[in-house]
Structure 1
């Protein structure tokens, strides 16, 4: 009888979550590449952008979008593959955070790999819904 009604913005976020997450993945890639270049050129500025809080907040946001978008996809179309691919990307991103932030590039490379896989999961999810 009583139906739960989402506020309008929640419906909009749910219907656009995959596209927002893909955009966020792109921003993450830009951040990672910019940080690596700045770190190589300017130690002080690069060090500011490589602060752990950026990575922790970014990963938290990515996990939130993953839960909303990929979880909605499982309910909507019933396919687990997009969520599995996206979860693997999130796992690689989380693992990259454990690597040293010493400018060697290992953390950046693994983060970019994880972001790319996560974006693929969101793209698969978006295509399955449409």
Structure 2
């Protein structure tokens, strides 16, 4: 199987969309499980999960969307995704709870939209 730079970037964009969805699912599930059942707090709210998630999002979005912006010369995917990463970074600075979840979900939606725009711009 031959991988081209274009197919690698497409795969990274798709991975970014999937990871954004998983992050949103983690946020909602954490709130539901913790508020409804009161269990899993030490694992689900561990800061390292959020820090690693943001680091992965920054790398994947930076490479895939940055690379795409250079190739197709459209700033919108890059701007939308970077705004999303900013929301996600703001969520790390917030205490655990609804505010953090809202900021994170806004951020992951924006990053995901940036990846989708990037995929559309490339074709």
- Whether TM-score is above 0.5 comes out as yes
Does structure 2 retain, via aligned residues, the 8 Å contact 1:36–1:46? no
1:83-121 superposed Cα distances (whole Å, 9 cap, x missing partner): 0110000000000110111x3x11001100111111111
User: Does residue 62 of the first structure (1) align with residue 51 of the second (2)?
Assistant: no
Structure 2 unmatched ranges of 5 or more? none
Equivalent residue for 1:26?
A: 21
Distance 1:91 1:83 in 2: 12
Structure 1 unmatched ranges of 5 or more? 1-7
Distance 2:43 2:28 in 1: 14
Equivalent residue for 2:122?
A: 129
TM-score normalised by L of structure 2? 0.90
TM-score normalised by L of structure 1? 0.86
Question: Which of 1 and 2 has higher RCO (CA within 8 Å, sep 6+)?
Answer: 2
User: Does residue 98 of the first structure (1) align with residue 93 of the second (2)?
Assistant: yes
Task: Give matches, 1:1-40, under 5 Å.
Answer: 11=5, 12-40=7-35
Whichever of the two has the greater Rg, that structure is 1
User: CA separation of 1:29/1:10 partners in 2, compared to 1, >3 Å: closer, same or farther?
Assistant: farther
CA RMSD of aligned residues (A): 1.6
- Runs of 4+ with >3 A deviation: 8-13
User: CA separation of 1:78/1:90 partners in 2, compared to 1, >3 Å: closer, same or farther?
Assistant: same
User: Does residue 84 of the first structure (1) align with residue 93 of the second (2)?
Assistant: no
